């Protein structure tokens, strides 16, 4: 779980050191790994050495979160996007609103962080870029974190925000997006909406989702090539699970019923520990008749799309995501 700090620090590198890439004209990328992506991964390796990744020991979550928040404050926000803090149903949220709106519909973004770290502030860099690229308002939230607040606290907060958005914007459509643990929560939010018979998101986008916490997937398969997530991820998330049944679809959404699920976009690296989660999710959803778009990239890393305009690969996903969301709004 200590590796999560590397991902956040990586975002600082990707969105500041490489931010100029996003100002250039759009162009198609080749299948060859870009110099920007290579640079980010090299920076990540250096950060891992700097912070002693791989060493055993207990985790000071308070210090970890403070470090992440300080790093997040250095992340440049997208020009032309304004931020408004507030609450929905008692859950802290932040609205990223682009200067040039192309529509009135809403995007709900749910951050990752192993269920133990992350916040709306930490989401600002990606949320603002998504808002600008799509020309739509993006809400991000600070859901309660484990280990202080185990399941179902985070799930309840995400669902509360989603239902409050439905009430706040009754005539608008909502798309849901999440990365890693946030991808899990995005799927769970939608499954619960289906179970409760309320209005569904028009689409769901997930980056490197963790969908099976039962321990049945062999996490060693890509452990040698994943520089973010370890093979022990299932045991590391025990602080979130506590004694709850890991086969519960609201914990492991792979075991949910996907008949009638909205169009689903899945993006992952082809050699990350959670690749099989994405593959199994895509298979399960397709068998249920869901419109599924699965994209696997080579030479990237876990949840790389949230670096936004920092690399050509992540910028391509940002553009594709904005198009996917807007296409299904229509």
Please write the tens of the pLDDT for every residue from 260-290: 999 999 999 999 999 999 999 999 999 999 9
**Residue 25 domain flag:** no
**Residue 6 domain flag:** no
188-243 pLDDT, tens per residue?
999 999 999 999 999 999 999 999 999 999 999 999 988 888 888 887 788 899 99
pLDDT at 24: 44
Token pair for 37? 């992506």
Apex 53 CA angle, 64 and 238, nearest 5: 60
Q: What is the DSSP string of 108-126?
A: EEE--STTTS--TTTTHHH
**Residue 45 domain flag:** no
Residue-number span of the structural domain to which 98 is assigned: 80-329
The residue whose two tokens read 């973010």 is 228
Mean pLDDT of 304-314: 94
pLDDT beyond 90 at 323: yes
47-89 pLDDT, tens per residue?
766 655 544 445 677 777 777 777 766 667 899 999 999 999 9
Closest alpha carbon to 323 in 301, 302, 293: 293
What CATH number has the domain bearing residue 231? 3.40.50.1820
Distance CA 190, CA 177 (A): 11
Q: Is the dihedral of CA 272, 127, 158, 193 positive or negative?
A: negative
Mean pLDDT of 151-174: 98
9-36 pLDDT, tens per residue?
555 555 544 444 444 433 333 458 999 9
20 preceded by cis ω (within 30°)? no
pLDDT at 9: 53
- The tally of domains found in the chain comes to 1
**Residue 279 domain flag:** yes
Q: Are 177 and 161 in contact (CB under 8 A)?
A: no
**Residue 61 domain flag:** no
Task: Determine the distance from the C-alpha atom of residue 118 to the mean position of all C-alpha atoms in its chain, rounded to a whole number.
Answer: 10
Mean pLDDT of the chain: 88
**Residue 245 domain flag:** yes
pTM for the whole structure: 0.91
The residue whose two tokens read 């949230």 is 306
**Residue 52 domain flag:** no
Distance CA 224, CA 275 (A): 13
**Residue 233 domain flag:** yes
pLDDT at 158: 99
């Amino acid at each position: 779980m200590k590796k999560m700090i590397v991902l956040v620090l990586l975002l600082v590198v990707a969105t500041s050191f490489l931010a100029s890439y996003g100002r250039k004209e759009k162009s198609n990328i080749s299948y060859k790994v870009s110099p920007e992506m290579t640079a980010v991964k090299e920076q990540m390796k250096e950060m891992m050495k700097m912070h002693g990744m791989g060493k055993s020991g207990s985790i000071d979550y308070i210090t970890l979160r403070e470090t992440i928040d300080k790093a997040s404050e250095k992340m440049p926000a997208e020009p032309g996007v304004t931020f408004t803090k507030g609450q929905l149903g008692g859950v802290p949220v932040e609205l990223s609103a682009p200067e040039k709106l192309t529509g009135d519909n809403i995007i709900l973004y749910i951050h990752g962080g192993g269920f133990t770290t992350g916040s709306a502030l930490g989401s600002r860099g990606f949320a603002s870029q998504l808002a600008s690229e799509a020309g739509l308002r993006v809400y991000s939230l600070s859901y309660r974190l484990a280990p202080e607040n185990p399941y179902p606290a985070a799930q309840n907060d995400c669902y509360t925000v989603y239902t409050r958005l439905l009430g706040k914007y009754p005539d608008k459509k909502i798309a849901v997006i999440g990365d890693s643990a946030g991808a899990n929560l995005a799927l769970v939010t939608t499954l619960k909406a289906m179970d409760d018979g309320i209005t569904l998101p028009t689409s769901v986008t997930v980056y490197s989702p963790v969908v099976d916490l039962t321990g049945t997937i062999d996490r060693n398969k890509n452990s040698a090539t994943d520089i973010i997530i370890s093979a022990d991820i299932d045991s590391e998330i025990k602080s979130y699970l506590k004694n709850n049944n890991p086969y519960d679809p609201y914990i492991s959404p792979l075991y949910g019923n996907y008949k009638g699920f909205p169009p689903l976009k899945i993006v992952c690296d082809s050699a990350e520990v959670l690749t099989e989660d994405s593959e199994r999710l895509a298979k399960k959803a397709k068998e249920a008749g869901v419109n599924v778009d699965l994209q696997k990239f080579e030479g990237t890393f876990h949840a790389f799309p949230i670096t936004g305009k920092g690399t050509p690969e992540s910028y391509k996903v940002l553009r594709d995501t904005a198009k996917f969301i807007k296409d299904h709004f229509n």
